Amino acid sequence: MAAPTDLSGKEKQILPAVNIQNLWVGQLAVAGIMPWMTKLILYSFRRCPYAMRARMALLQAEQTVELREIVLRDKPAAFFEASPSASVPCLLNDSEVLDESLDVMKWALERNDPDGWLDMPEEGWDWIARADGPFKDALDRTKYAPRYPGVDPLEHRALAATFLADLDAQIETWIFDRETLADHAILPFVRQFAFIDKSWFEAQPWPSLQAWLERYLASEAFGAIMPKYPQWAEGETGVPFP
């Protein structure tokens, strides 16, 4: 590993033009300006709720990655090579491939967890398991009913609603007494469900849940994980995120 002061000619030329104070070292690594830094690559898709929660944890943990925006109907060969499940998100670091969004969240926060998101009650994992399991199943059968022949979307909307009513009863401002991993693991899926039929969602008696979602959608962090990214193409460098 080269010492940070041991700059090649190219780096010497580039560095004075960069306002280093405004950049994370990870962004410099992605930009190729500090090549001795580990380069992290995130295959992502803007609207995928799993990728959204991974990006939220990376943002919170201030872990800069090279983001490669994937279009799911046009997956590049490099993505198939990287991701065993061919699903987003997929994070590559120098020693491993993280192909599950929750693993990406944990990995990022284990490196830097300024607000203690990982320090949540054990029950947080139960909420996440209910959201990722029965709630997500019901969400998909409500939203994408034609993909599930013989399935009644209204029946599944009612199943999803039982979970959301329980969550509404649990939330004051957050699921627990402060923001934790559970909030950010679940919020993208509640967003996805809410937008199936926004007026129906808003008419439900879930004031705490609705306010929780509204705060998320209006937050600076949400804006920071949702810019439109250009589709990544083989041979290109992706964009630094965050």
Ligand X SMILES: N[C@@H](CCC(=O)N[C@@H](CS)C(=O)NCC(=O)O)C(=O)O
Please state the closest distance from residue 73 (CB atom) to ligand X, in A.
8
Nearer to ligand X, 88 or 186 (CB): 88
Nearer to ligand X, 27 or 44 (CB): 44
Nearer to ligand X, 30 or 139 (CB): 139
- How far, in whole angstroms, is CA 10 from its chain's centroid? 34
Contact yes or no for 104/89 (Cβ under 8 A): yes
Within a 13 Å sphere around the CA of 10, how many CA atoms are in the beta-carbon half? Answer: 5
Nearer to ligand X, 75 or 215 (CB): 75
Please state the closest distance from residue 208 (CB atom) to ligand X, in A.
26
Please state the closest distance from residue 106 (CB atom) to ligand X, in A.
12
| Interacting residues toward ligand X by CB under 6 A | 45, 48, 50, 72, 87-89, 100-102
Nearer to ligand X, 29 or 128 (CB): 128
Query: What would the two tokens of residue 40 be?
Result: 């992290």
Please state the closest distance from residue 205 (CB atom) to ligand X, in A.
29
Please state the closest distance from residue 192 (CB atom) to ligand X, in A.
9
